[in-house]
Structure 1
Amino acid sequence: MAELLHVDALGAEGAYRTRRRTDLTGVSGEKIGEISLVSPLYVRRTIAAMRAARVPSAADRITMLDEAADLYLTGTVGGLDPDRYAHLVSIASGVPLPVVRGSMAGVADSLRALRHTSGLAMPTGAVADWDDPRTENGSAVWTRKGDVFAVHASGNTPGVHGLWPEALALGYKVAVRPSNREPFTAFRLISALRRAGFGDDVVALLPCDYVTADVIIAEADYSMVYGGQDVVEKYAANPRVLPQGPGRSKVLVTKDVDWRDKVDLIADAVSHLGGTACVCTTSVLVEGDPAPLAEALAARLSRIPSLAAEDPSAVLTVQPREQAAKVDEYLHRVAEGTRAWLGGDTVVDELPGGGAVLRPAVHEVRTSGASQLNVELPFPCVWVGPWAPEDGIAPLKGSLVVTAMTEDRRLIGELLREPSITNVYLGDTPTTLMLPGVPHDGYLGEFLMRTKAVIR
């Protein structure tokens, strides 16, 4: 980059450049900027100011979200036009440039859709306002459970920022702790929201270290936290925190469906979004011999070229060489005892300009109970294994998405009844499909809102 960029905190009194800052680097190791790190005291003061802030009307919030969508997608925000912003995200995070651009459009679409989708979680017996005529004789009213919602965002793709603005639509004040690897999306989106009319004390950006991050959660009423299995376990007993952990999304193909017609669909679901998202397919179970399907997937995925993340044709994720080597080492450790159809030697492909592409991996496991079927890695890595009707749905438990390619209605019913399976897609619907209004991990409103009886 020609000049270093500074990502400032965005607190209740505007932008704040702290004395304590940390470097922002690209995947090739070059310094591209600095990010301010706020203190616990700054967090407490900011969230206290947010609690006292006036909440805009519901109609105004929707209008401002629409305007922010346009600013985020097409405007010059924080000195960055859309092209420079997308390029910056790509070289900082290693996310392929086409994925960044697609995620940008997805975030904007999510914001625009909130005028229709933000109320979908509201029970049919409830009303949105206390002065609705139905409260004269008694009715449930849809109300917030708190005032301040905190988000610990990841840097996987810009798409993770398409979910939390629903809290603004519902009338919450929102404090975001961005990824210190890719803070540009959070900064751009929050800056756009402020330019659209949301007050500095309504939506805030609070970059910080891990210790201060815990303070944000302690001060907020409710929080959403992205991370690995360790994050899920850390907050499992805290009802005020909604963890967004590994997806372990899976595909099941039963014998009444010809898997040969599904290879491209499955391969695309493995590699979509660079293989980094929780909805990417990480395991495929097939009734019968899994080897032919594994071989076909390996052949399809092996054709994806290794390109720099900022290349307009890039598909695969790029990481710093040291980080890519660690991922490769871990893969070899957990894959012990499996048959490697792709990536058995190494998944690291170093780029001349710095950084390394994480190439796809396909491994065949011996049984439907293999532990590898629940291993999720941050690149296109898929485990393929056998399934039989007597295995039931046990191998599919603990999945964010299960795509069931089957005509077995009884099996579909069992998948829907299983509490640990969040979403069930049927037929040719890839695990990666995300649509505005269709819940990702339930509706966010289910977590943030409640009904309260009102009788006038």
Structure 2
Amino acid sequence: MITQLDALGPAGPFRTRDRADVTDVYGQTVAELSLVPSLYVKRTMKALGRARPLPLDLRLPALERAGEMFADGTVAGMTAAEYRDTVCRLSGTPLANVSSAVDAIRTAAAEAYTSAQAGRPNGAALDWRDAPVRGGSGGWVRRGEVFAVHAAGNHPGVHALWLEAVALGFRVAVRPSRREPLTPFRLVSALREAGFGDDGVALLPTDHATAGQILLSADLSMVYGGQEVIDKYADDPTVLPNGPGRSKILITADTDWREHIDVIVDSVARHGGTACVNATAVFVEGDPAPLAAALAERLATIPSLPPHHEKAVLPVHPLAGARAIERHLLDRARGARAHLGGDGVVDDLGDGSAVLRPAVFELDDPAAPQTGVELPFPCVWVAPWTRQAGARALTGSLVLTALTSDEDLLDELYADPDIRNLYIGDRPTHWMAPGVPHDDYLSSFLMRSKALARG
């Protein structure tokens, strides 16, 4: 049976004539996604702007209920088990990773407000009625009322972040990815059933031509995409772009990488290598070849399994899509020494789908362009690093795990604004926790401070 994924607007579910097939990794149509026109987008965004936020004392329990419903309940007629199974089929994300993402979204819903408060300036009050306001203080207020999200489809866990906007009182409109629209459909449906109402949160699937209207109609927006997305919105203060992570590991000569091989492998392979926080480059002070060989040996043991298998780790794609990714990899890898994946990374499962197996390539220059190549599976570039290359070889990193005892170097890395997160020692690049910023605090983008005083 084909699932109907309706748009979710201010008058409830809306099924359009214009619908897009949503296919799984085996090429079968699993769902039909309603695509809304520009006029519907405009009306929905206006309705969200007119709506008032759910009061805080109702908002936070409703968020927690929504997280529980999303994780364990029957939402829009679909059980939690059916949801996990379908997302696994659609995205090729291993079932274990889907389950961990579901748990992360449940936790994010329960702790969204607390996490958002971590970004509040110490001197800012939450309400003009608060006692410090009488003597004069800062106040922390929304920069707008409607927040839009152009969502990614690479991993269900990306939908945990925008729940902070809901917690802060924004009305939120989500444009889902056509690759995996089920997670935002289920989450928006759960939020509505939990008490946020049809004008509190919306799902607006659109074609590419209409997608921009959502951003134009919102006060603030968050978009996901490649480098072209980063470049397009870099100068727009109302749009927060999320692009490639290009996360890295640095190992200096005073550190024996053999003592840290587990955390290096985990940084590369966790989440099937699909997340922006997976390590895509490892820099070694000294000869990188032994580490590259050890990484290849460890990653080669990961089995090729269909996504529903309980021991599946690697991502699965339709065979044609996997071949296209493989061609791109081999083209970008020209001139690099292959330790794993040099003959290809596609493992045909014989049912129309294919596993993308790990790849390890060694480079001879820390400035080689391949160190910035990020692909949606465990693919890592191992390069030499020198003191002369310094921090500039590591900039542009969402996460840098530094395996070093050099405190002067750590000072330099910490001060570099283009290294957005710094983990020191045995901390995998994919580590995240509620209240810890991902790429700065989202609330620092959503909120601003103003002066408050009462006579």
Bin the TM-score by the shorter chain: over 0.9
Q: Tell me the distance in 2 between the aligned counterparts of 1:139 and 1:405.
A: 42
Asked if the contact 2:113–2:168 (Cα under 8 Å) also holds between the matched residues in 1, the reply is no
Please list, as runs of the form range in 1=range in 2, the aligned pairs for 1:40-439 lying within 5 A after superposition.
40-439=38-437
- Post-superposition, which runs of at least 4 consecutive aligned residues in structure 1 deviate over 2 A? none
Amino acid at match of 1:114: A
Q: Could you tell me the percent identity over the aligned residues?
A: 53
Q: Deviations over 1:85-121 (max 9, x none)?
A: 1110111011111111111101111111124222111
Measured in 1, the distance between the counterparts of 2:446 and 2:348 equals 44
Q: CA deviation at 1:137?
A: 2.2
2:366/2:384 contact within 8 Å kept = yes
After TM superposition, give the deviation of residue 453 of structure 1 in Å. Answer: 1.2
> 5+ unaligned residues in a row in structure 2: which ranges?
none
- Determine the C-alpha separation between the residues in 2 that align with 1:280 and 1:448: 26
- Identify which range, 256-265 or 41-50, moves more after superposition: 256-265
Which shows bigger deviation, 400-409 or 133-142?
133-142
Residue ranges of structure 1 left out of the alignment (5+ in a row): none
> What TM-score, normalized by structure 1, do the two folds share?
0.98
Deviation at 1:390, TM superposition (A): 2.1
Quote the Cα distance in structure 2 between the aligned partners of 1:118 and 1:235. 23
- Tell me, in whole angstroms, the C-alpha distance in 2 between the residues paired with 1:147 and 1:62: 18
Deviations 1:20-77 (A, max 9, x none): 0010100110111100000110000000011110211122111111111110111011
Alignment partners' CA distance in 1, 2:287 and 2:410: 22
Instruction: Note the C-alpha offset of 1:349.
Output: 0.6
Q: Which secondary structure state, in structure 1, belongs to the residue aligned with residue 117 of structure 2?
A: coil
Deviations 1:133-191 (A, max 9, x none): 21122211100010100000011111000000100111110000011110110011111
SS of the residue 2:195 aligns to: coil
Which is further off, 287-296 or 349-358?
349-358
Q: Distance in 1 between matches of 2:31 and 2:398?
A: 35
1:394, distance to aligned residue in structure 2 (A): 1.1
Following the alignment from structure 1 to structure 2, what is the Cα–Cα distance between the partners of residues 261 and 302?
20
Distance in structure 2 (CA, Å) of the matches to 1:146 and 1:165: 16
Q: Using the alignment, how far apart are the partners of 1:195 and 1:74 within structure 2?
A: 14
Count of aligned positions = 454
Q: Give the TM-score normalised by the residue count of structure 2.
A: 0.99
Cα distance in 2 for residues equivalent to 1:91 and 1:310: 8
* Mapped partners of 1:116, 1:172: distance in 2: 16
**Does the CA-based 8 Å contact 1:363-1:383 persist in structure 2?**
yes
Cα distance between partner residues in 2 of 1:235 and 1:116: 29
AA matched with 1:119? Q
Secondary structure in 1 matching 2:393: helix
Q: C-alpha distance in 2, partners of 1:82/1:316? A: 23
Q: Describe the SS at the equivalent of 1:451.
A: strand
Letter in 2 for 1:49: A
**CA shift digits 1:244-288 (9 cap, x unpaired):** 100000000111111012122111111111111000000000111
Q: What SS class does the counterpart of residue 258 from structure 2 fall into?
A: helix
Q: Is the 8 A contact 2:113 2:164 kept in 1?
A: no
The amino acid across from 1:168 in the alignment is: V
**Counterpart amino acid of 2:112?**
L
Give 1:388 deviation, angstroms. Answer: 1.6
* Inter-partner Cα distance in structure 1 for 2:363 and 2:246: 16
Q: Indicate the SS of the match to 1:389.
A: coil
